[in-house]
Amino acid sequence: MADLNIEIYGSPVLRQKAEPVQNIDGKVQKIIRDMFDTLHKNSGLGLAANQVGILQRVVVLTNPNTGEVMALINPEWKEIEPEKEIGEEGCLSVPGIFSKVNRFRKIQVTAQNVQGKQFNFSAESLFARIIQHEVDHLNGILFIDRLSPTRRFVLASKLSRISSNGDHE
């Protein structure tokens, strides 16, 4: 079992855009297995490769409706309906902070699986929220970026403490 080190808020890799995966080879499959282990050990709902210092478009997550874990390689999504929904989010890279975020309620997702096969599915509510949160990571975006300026102001000192305690340079 590999338990990868989780990058904490303040780490530059969380602010970088991950690259599309070109070849889904043994190396990528190993990364995904290690990410599954890391997700379980930290009791997370989702984990993006940036969070373990790897700039590739890979996400692992738990489908909250079935409890199944899945890997999404090169995931993309678009909203099915314009409606958004507010729900509480946290992030393994921003420990101790939970806040309400507005996200699309219902989305259509396209990704590749570990065999490289393209698949599509729709997701709603919490499942849709997790996917939007994780794909944001691949684009260098954190959920705290989506909070109101007032809420961010309230969290500012907590965030700077997390950033200075993280084991990054």
| Residues with a known catalytic role | 134
The residues binding Ni ion (CB under 5 A) are 91
Query: What is the rounded distance in angstroms from the CA atom of residue 46 to the CA atom of residue 80?
Result: 22
As a whole number of Å, the CA-based R_g of the chain is: 15
Q: How far is the CB of 59 from Ni ion (least distance, A)?
A: 10
Residue 118 or 126 having the CB closest to Ni ion: 126
E strand map for the chain? 46-48, 58-62, 69-79, 84-89, 99-104, 106-112, 118-124
Residue 86 or 117 having the CB closest to Ni ion: 86
Q: How far is the CB of 25 from Ni ion (least distance, A)?
A: 26
Residue 91 or 123 having the CB closest to Ni ion: 91
**Under a CB-based contact definition with an 8 Å cutoff, are residues 10 and 166 in contact?**
yes
What is the number of the residue whose Cβ is closest to Ni ion?
91
Q: How far is the CB of 23 from Ni ion (least distance, A)?
A: 26
